[in-house]
Amino acid sequence: MTAQDEAEQAEQTQALPTNYSPLELEKETREFWIKNQIRQKLEDVEKTAKGNLGYVEGPPTLNGIPHIGHARGRIMKDIRYRWKTMEGYYMPFWAGWDCQGLPVELEVEKLLGVRNKRESIEKFGMVRFIEECKKAIMRYHQMWLQADGTLGIFINQEKAYWTYKDSYIEREWSYLKAAWDQGLLEEGHYVVAYCPGCQTSLSSAEVGYEGSYKEVEDPSFYFKFKVANSKNEFFLVWTTMPFTIITDTMLAVQPKAEYVKVKVDQETWIMVRERVEPVMAELAITKYEIIESILGEKLEGTAYEYPLKDIIPKQAELETKHPLVHKVIGEDFVDVNTATGVVHLSPGNGEDDFWAAQRRGVPIFAPFDDEVKFTKEAGAFNGVFARDADMLVVEELRNRNAFVKIGKTKHEYPTCWRSHHKLVWLARKEYFLRTDKINSKVLEAAEKIDYFYEEPKNRFLGFLKEGKPWCISRERIWGSPLPMWTCQQCGNQHLVSSKKELLEKAQEPLPEDFELHKPWVDRITLKCEKCGGSMRREDFVLDTWHNSGASPYARFTDEEYEKFVPTAFLTEGIDQTRGWANSLLLENIILTGKPAAPYKAFLFQGLTQDAKGRKMSKSLGNVVETNKLLEKTSADLCRFYMMRKCSPVDFMSFDTQELTRRSYQVLSTLYHLSRFFMQNASFDKFAPEKYSLQWALEANKLQPADLWLLSKLQERIQDYTHKLERCAFNAAVAVLDDFVIETLSRLYVPMIRKELWTDEPETFERRQTIYALLYHTLKTVTLLFNPVTPHLSEALYQKVYRQLESTLPETVNLATWPTPNGEIRNPTLEEQFDTLLRVVSISYAARQQGKLKRRWPLSKALVVGPQEILESVKCLEELFLELTNVKHVDYSVTPPDFVEAESWVSSQENDVTVFVSGQRDDKLLGEGIMRDLARRVQALRKDMGFVPTETLESVHIAELDAETMGLLEPYLEEMSGLVRARKVYLHSSRSEVEAEWHQSELDGKKICLNIH
């Protein structure tokens, strides 16, 4: 080696350090990306792309710290982006942030130290409040940028959309305009779920959120309403919400069911027959008698005496408004299998109740204010918070002989997904998108979407079938304003659909600091076109899901919308079934009027849990924050591990202990294989332009093992790509895992390693052939890894492949995605190899029987099995001898009849038996000892930091007995070849040479080694 050679080699070795240190390597890679503006350059792909694949970012809400569950979803998105870019597509992989809504407001309230909306407005004013909301989201934005950066998420942050910006909001208004024009946007009184804590109504989608149903304790209250004009007949009723008796206006029975009159003491109670026994048992009444049976429908129209008229005068007034108030009606929804089969109806507090009243024109009595406290109309209950009225009502009924029994019951009851307050159902004036009217279009569109997995698909379609109207109005501050102005004089309504229109129609000029938010929009009045009166805005903001669901149109220009929507693929967590996936779909159908989703495919990911399978939550303290984790853990390792661990739709238990196991082994093996290749290839001055795979194929230079590797690679490319396409990320990554560890590292490299150990001129071309093959294979694998482990792939690409071939594209992300070459696929050869490897592994089992180490050469083996198996082994006999470390092999279809005095050992698996001869003569013993020693010298070389290609001056082995030295003598030259040394010396005692000795052992005896 010349000095110049050595310098060159040192430089290239430096490029890939001896140890795989992912943290340093990843940092260096990120710096490379930033310095060379790699992400920006990928935008240029659009000019040459073979097609566009639309994408809209599902915007994370900027009110939480990015955790590992978020990371999992973002990795899937990034995989898709990098892979499709390499396939030659352009994808607008641009970020987006969900900025508005209740969660942000609640956080700011906490920060300002106020308890609710009213207090924050009183103390700080809306302008300040909104300013704080903006500051809050920006703090989280920083954390998300950091997490995306370190995780290697190649989303374009510069082109991010923000859901609170004026330009976004006015395009969001286009959706409402479309709804308004089609008669799908309505104002109305509806019963909605209302959270007393957050002081706003919730959409029915929000009510159904995962984990919102909690076991709560409520009263179990039996009471009785007296039949009007009777002496002592009563309807027996049950409720868990006594406060709703304040808004009671009717009783309902099941028309087809049998009801009975039950005599209890001096009174007669009316209830459904089926429930008499259980209810009497519960009430601990043993003496009772059924005296009459009546069909439910016969009870319809019966009047009852509402007992609280004296303290709720409005209830008396209601009786004069409609003949059905305080009468019995028949309704099919009445369940005769629970309680008494007589249900009291409070249309102001229940959905079924509401519709029952609505159908009959019965007035809705809902005397509540914004904090769900009763108003004056509720008489004696004025000012009481609804749920606090429960016991007051019970006491009032007790005083009026309407009380039967009070107890407690535990049941599942919906709570607010944010604040966990028990929700209250209230009739309120709200704005609705009448999505129930377009339900058939919604279902038609949803059927056409690709969901990749059945279970999430069924869940989504099941939810969509509910087809309820969507309550989009919220009584909050930090949100897109509902652009509806109503005339104060004539009630005429106008929906504004852009900022420009607002400018034109406003009665006063807009102030300098104007933005499309409260309080600015509320100050704008319009002139009524019908009567000339003044129009004011309806005091609502929009559901934040409407806000993010508008992203396909709102985040793009018209031209981009045409180009990128419907998007090719979206993915979000399974919790978005009722969230973003739903609002995107509904809004797009409203906007276009067509049964079309804004996405062609949607992957719902499973949620991520802690190592023990528990939900990650602040209260358990088990949330794994992305930024904290990545301070000490490799991003590539996290990415690989999370994709490898389970199917994307499964709930994943994230266990940091597991990171260092198999996943690390795979990445580290790929790294070291690449390094092994690079060291050897640069030693032989390998030039891929000259010794290409094409050259090797055309010149017929490849040996069976090479052809087998190449064939397997083709199959793996196809399989892997197909699995990525079907979002089977875990199975896809398993393909890479198996190819690197099993095929390359455990099988192929050991087959060719020894051929690279020599530097003989006559084997030069063979070595170049192996390099050509390794270059092609490892480079292909590196490209396949890129979507999953972008840092490692980029580092290897730069430090190995671009070193050897400077004409390659600037970044691995611009390299072309590998495609399988059918011509070099050879299934017959693959089968032969499968057979060969099976037989080899049986031979190992046989050796184990005889305690014969694998590196001890043996004289003979005998393979017994069916003809076709024997043929396969015969075809690859040279390799068989090499792998089994046996000098000679015989074949037989029938079991042998041994007479020879050989100490045979054998192992059998199904129809194949392998015999190996355990007899070892001096030659075999000497060679075995030599190989044992060679292994120890190799290990020492590595420990001492010698580059594998470096030739040692000499190797000294001391403390050997005379017999061992004698056996070894014939093999010293072979050994120096194996360990890459000029000469090997043997010594009986270490005192023979002055040297730095290293302790080692051979068959349990101490020996000493020196190399230099």
Minimum CB separation from Zn ion for residue 367, in Å?
Answer: 22
Q: Which amino acid is at 529?
A: E
Minimum CB separation from Zn ion for residue 197, in Å?
Answer: 4
Give the integer Cα–Cα distance in Å for 377 and 371.
15
Q: Which is nearer to Zn ion, 530 or 594 (CB)?
A: 530
Q: Is the peptide bond before 307 cis (omega within 30 degrees of 0)?
A: no
- Is 531 a binding residue for Zn ion by CB under 5 A? The answer is yes
Minimum CB separation from Zn ion for residue 420, in Å?
Answer: 7
Beta bridge partners of 652: 608
Contact region for Zn ion (CB under 5 A) — 133-141, 409-417, 730-738, 807-815? 409-417
In 3D, which of 232, 257, 255, 235 has the Cα closest to residue 245? 235
- Is 494 a binding residue for Zn ion by CB under 5 A? The answer is no
> CB of 988 within 8 A of CB of 965?
yes
- Is 37 a binding residue for Zn ion by CB under 5 A? The answer is no
The tokens describing 993, both together, are 């040479």
Contact region for Zn ion (CB under 5 A) — 281-289, 520-528, 548-556, 999-1007? 520-528
Minimum CB separation from Zn ion for residue 534, in Å?
Answer: 8
Give the integer Cα–Cα distance in Å for 270 and 619.
48
Q: Which is nearer to Zn ion, 421 or 802 (CB)?
A: 421
> CB of 133 within 8 A of CB of 105?
yes
Whole-number Cα distances in Å, 485 to 165, 494, 518, 532: 21, 5, 14, 13
**Residue 932 CB: number of other CB atoms within 10 A?**
15
* 330 three-state secondary structure: strand
Given 162, 580, 708, 817, the catalytic residue: 580
Q: Which of 71, 402, 487, 960 binds Zn ion (CB under 5 A)?
A: 487
Give the integer Cα–Cα distance in Å for 652 and 76.
14
Minimum CB separation from Zn ion for residue 114, in Å?
Answer: 15
Whole-number Cα distances in Å, 215 to 195, 221, 907: 17, 18, 61
> CB of 256 within 8 A of CB of 298?
no
* 686 three-state secondary structure: coil
- Is 528 a binding residue for Zn ion by CB under 5 A? The answer is yes
Minimum CB separation from Zn ion for residue 427, in Å?
Answer: 19
- Is 101 a binding residue for Zn ion by CB under 5 A? The answer is no
- Is 103 a binding residue for Zn ion by CB under 5 A? The answer is no
Q: Which of 110, 530, 685, 746 binds Zn ion (CB under 5 A)?
A: 530
- Is 819 a binding residue for Zn ion by CB under 5 A? The answer is no
Would residue 628 show up in a list of annotated catalytic residues for this protein? Answer: no
Say how many residues touch Zn ion, by CB under 5 A. 15
- Is 195 a binding residue for Zn ion by CB under 5 A? The answer is yes
- Is 892 a binding residue for Zn ion by CB under 5 A? The answer is no
Binding letters toward Zn ion, positions 432-471, x by CB under 5 A: ----------------------------------------
Would residue 543 show up in a list of annotated catalytic residues for this protein? Answer: no
Given 231, 287, 612, 618, the catalytic residue: 618
Binding letters toward Zn ion, positions 619-658, x by CB under 5 A: ----------------------------------------
- Is 493 a binding residue for Zn ion by CB under 5 A? The answer is no
Q: Which is nearer to Zn ion, 32 or 385 (CB)?
A: 385
- DSSP state string for 75-144: HHHHHHHHHHHHTTEE---EEEEB--SHHHHHHHHHHHT-SSHHHHHHHH-HHHHHHHHHHHHHHHHHHH
Q: Which of 104, 137, 147, 198 binds Zn ion (CB under 5 A)?
A: 198
- Is 197 a binding residue for Zn ion by CB under 5 A? The answer is yes
Going by their DSSP bridges, the two strands 886-892 and 289-295 should be labelled as unpaired
Would residue 162 show up in a list of annotated catalytic residues for this protein? Answer: no
Give the integer Cα–Cα distance in Å for 814 and 125.
52
- Is 104 a binding residue for Zn ion by CB under 5 A? The answer is no
Q: Which is nearer to Zn ion, 119 or 961 (CB)?
A: 119
- Is 489 a binding residue for Zn ion by CB under 5 A? The answer is yes
Minimum CB separation from Zn ion for residue 198, in Å?
Answer: 3
Backbone φ, ψ for residue 218 (5° rounding): -135, 165
- Is 533 a binding residue for Zn ion by CB under 5 A? The answer is yes
- Is 241 a binding residue for Zn ion by CB under 5 A? The answer is no
Minimum CB separation from Zn ion for residue 492, in Å?
Answer: 4
Contact region for Zn ion (CB under 5 A) — 489-497, 778-786, 913-921, 1004-1012? 489-497
- Is 490 a binding residue for Zn ion by CB under 5 A? The answer is yes
- Is 424 a binding residue for Zn ion by CB under 5 A? The answer is no
Contact region for Zn ion (CB under 5 A) — 189-197, 239-247, 263-271, 752-760? 189-197
Q: Which of 251, 312, 416, 550 binds Zn ion (CB under 5 A)?
A: 416
Given 60, 83, 98, 768, the catalytic residue: 98
- Is 418 a binding residue for Zn ion by CB under 5 A? The answer is yes
- Is 193 a binding residue for Zn ion by CB under 5 A? The answer is no
Close Cβ partners of 528 (under 8 Å, ≥ 6 residues apart):
487, 489, 490, 492, 534, 535
Minimum CB separation from Zn ion for residue 617, in Å?
Answer: 17
Would residue 615 show up in a list of annotated catalytic residues for this protein? Answer: yes
- Is 419 a binding residue for Zn ion by CB under 5 A? The answer is yes
Give the integer Cα–Cα distance in Å for 151 and 627.
9
Would residue 723 show up in a list of annotated catalytic residues for this protein? Answer: no
Q: Which is nearer to Zn ion, 134 or 421 (CB)?
A: 421
Contact region for Zn ion (CB under 5 A) — 21-29, 73-81, 492-500, 769-777? 492-500
Contact region for Zn ion (CB under 5 A) — 196-204, 378-386, 495-503, 660-668? 196-204
Contact region for Zn ion (CB under 5 A) — 159-167, 455-463, 527-535, 575-583? 527-535
Minimum CB separation from Zn ion for residue 422, in Å?
Answer: 10
Q: Which is nearer to Zn ion, 199 or 609 (CB)?
A: 199
In 3D, which of 445, 482, 451 has the Cα closest to residue 590? 445
- Is 327 a binding residue for Zn ion by CB under 5 A? The answer is no
Given 314, 615, 723, 923, the catalytic residue: 615
The tokens describing 382, both together, are 């004025």
Contact region for Zn ion (CB under 5 A) — 466-474, 490-498, 799-807, 943-951? 490-498
Count of residues for the chain? Answer: 1012
State whether the Cα torsion 596-602-606-607 is positive or negative: negative
Residue 305 CA, distance from chain mean position: 57
- Is 281 a binding residue for Zn ion by CB under 5 A? The answer is no
- Is 409 a binding residue for Zn ion by CB under 5 A? The answer is no
Given 12, 254, 315, 576, the catalytic residue: 576
* 263 three-state secondary structure: strand
Would residue 706 show up in a list of annotated catalytic residues for this protein? Answer: no
Would residue 224 show up in a list of annotated catalytic residues for this protein? Answer: no
> CB of 275 within 8 A of CB of 341?
yes
State whether the Cα torsion 146-147-153-156 is positive or negative: negative
- DSSP state string for 390-432: HHHHHHHHHTTT-EEEEEEEEEEEEB-TTT-PBPEEEEEEEEE
In 3D, which of 707, 708, 712 has the Cα closest to residue 740? 712
Contact region for Zn ion (CB under 5 A) — 51-59, 413-421, 613-621, 623-631? 413-421
Instruction: Enumerate residues 284-303 that contact Zn ion by CB under 5 A.
Output: none
Minimum CB separation from Zn ion for residue 491, in Å?
Answer: 7
- DSSP state string for 446-514: HHTSB-SSHHHHHHHHHHHHH---EE-EE--SSSPBP-EEEETTT--EEE---HHHHHHHBSSPPPTT-
**55 DSSP 8-state letter:** -
- SS3 for 177-241, per residue? HHHHHCCCEEEEEEEEEEECCCCEEECHHHHCCCCCEEEEEEEEEEEEEEECCCCCEEEEEEECC
Binding site for Zn ion (CB under 5 A): 195, 197-198, 416, 418-419, 421, 487, 489-490, 492, 528, 530-531, 533
Known catalytic residues are 59, 98, 545, 576, 580, 615, 618
